[in-house]
Homo-oligomer: A and B are copies of this chain.
Amino acid sequence: MINNPTEEVNRVLQQAHVAFLSYKNFSGKQKAAFLRAIADEIEALGAELVSTAMRETNLPEARIINERGRTTGHCRMFADLVEEGSWVEARVDTALPNRIPAPKPDMRKMLVPIGPVVVFGAANFPLAYSTAGGDTASALAAGCPVIVKAHPAHLETSKLVAAAIEKAAAKTGMPQGVFQHVHGEGFEIGQALVKHPFTKAVGFTGSLVGGKALFDLANQRPEPIPVFAEMSSINPVILLPETLSRDAAKTASQLAGSITLGVGQFCTNPGLIIAIDDAALASFIATLVTEIEKSLPGTMLHQGIADNYAKRLTQTLAQKGVKAEGQSANGNAAQGTPLVASVAAETFLQNPTLSEEVFGPFSLIVKCKDTNELHQVITKSHGQLTATIIGDEAEISKHKVLINMLIEKAGRLIINGVPTGVEVCPAQMHGGPYPATTDSRFTAVGTDAIKRFVRPVTFQNFPESLLPTELKTENPLGIWRLFNNEQKK
């Protein structure tokens, strides 16, 4: 019965479950040592990791090195977070035994890990959103064992990183099964992982179809579990007319850079540009076209992504009213050709196909007759990871309603910047209303990503000796707590 996915998955989850029963009680210091060792071991892989990832993903060396830095960076960030310890949101409400009409019991609450987490890594981030990516690091930090289903497009890279994590686990005395690496073709193993009763949460980065399928599967389990799927976003950029009339060329250059960055293979790629159809927009388009024409086609992550980009591009350009404005020279079949197109807002509003993601170096300019039409385009927009407004302070002040509208559509609002480039920090919200993600209440990037893999538990009337360290009255860890409704250390 070797190679039976059900048996293999059963064995893996059994081990994860056993690991959980001890790992969940590991201290912040212990988990921090593990996370830092992961970062060290990834660095110790040296040039082999870089060359393997380059070969498997067609991404350039500088990008892989940068991404490696980001990966080790978030491992160390979560190490610091759990070592410090305040992230558990401890609340202590001491007893009032003489309260009338009924005594108040001693109540204390903190976040605890949810259980084994299954992670499906992203094709477009072979390091930072894959085997030791943000999902893995945040789940391990929370106290959850992790099972990574390797992305077949960068299997060797994934194996190298998995070995580094396993080495780190052994060196720092983590329980066997705290991290497991599973690979195999087809959907069967992934589905079995999500359906297994010991799996308690799922992290996924990929397509809308794939993410939605896992979400449905997880909700149909006898015990439904949360799925954090990051799926689809076209990241609208709104150009305000007065500002654009002054800055058309600069704005166009900046956006061209964002559209073509990494052959457009970012979840935050600006796929939609919305503006009033006036002379400033014409000038903006002229510069954007020049920039795009100067840009080069780039080899995409894998042939499937290149094929899909070509297909979606053809499909989009075949829609009524869509005009190709400019493109780079055509590349070979493995490459993605940067291209910008335009469409009248009236046409855009009637054609839902044009609101769907084209994953690659493409952006669609939506030309609006007036502000009303621009508002309609925003109102009809799906949920997004980001929304950007290009405009100076004075002009945006006159259009505050835009901020009010965009808050409902995206997890991150940007003024005078580009959506690509996702800062890893406490104030980051990388997530957004459906279909950007399946759960707009959680971020996949930054320290708060840990909150996806925890649940609160209250300890009522516990003697001091039986309380978790975080909740003992004398606060031995020195963490921030809400103590009788007062925030203090």
Interface residues of A (CB under 8 A from B): 21, 24-25, 66, 86, 91-93, 101-102, 104-105, 107-109, 112, 114-115, 215-216, 219, 223-224, 226, 383, 393, 396-397, 400, 403-404, 407-408, 410-417, 421, 423, 425-429, 431, 433-435, 438-441, 443, 448, 454-463, 465-466, 480, 482, 485, 487
Contacts and interface: CB of A to CB of B under 8 A. Distances in A.
Contacts of A448: 91, 109, 456
10 contacts: A21-B404, A92-B427, A93-B427, A105-B421, A107-B423, A114-B441, A224-B434, A413-B457, A415-B459, A429-B458
A9 to B, nearest CB: 20
A91 B443 CA distance: 13
A101 to B, nearest CB: 7
- Copies of this chain per assembly: 2
A400 B25 CA distance: 12
Q: Which of A108, A431, A485 has the most CB of B within 10 A?
A: A485
A420 to B, nearest CB: 11
Given A105-B423, A455-B441, A480-B487, A460 B93 contact: no
Contacts of A101: 66
A117 B454 CA distance: 24
Given A114-B440, A403-B466, A448-B456, 10 more contacts: A66-B101, A93-B427, A105-B414, A109-B428, A396-B463, A410-B457, A411-B455, A412-B459, A414-B461, A415-B466
Nearest to A452: B441
B224 A427 contact: no
A223 B93 contact: no
A310 to B, nearest CB: 28
B426 A482 contact: yes
A480 to B, nearest CB: 5
A482 B415 CA distance: 22
Contacts of A109: 426-429, 448
Contact of A105 (B383, B400, B417, B441): B417
Contacts of A102: 421
A168 B440 CA distance: 31
Contacts of A428: 107, 109, 458
B440 A393 contact: no
A458 B411 contact: yes
A262 to B, nearest CB: 14
Contacts of A107: 423, 425, 427-428
A26 B296 CA distance: 49
Contacts of A462: 413, 415
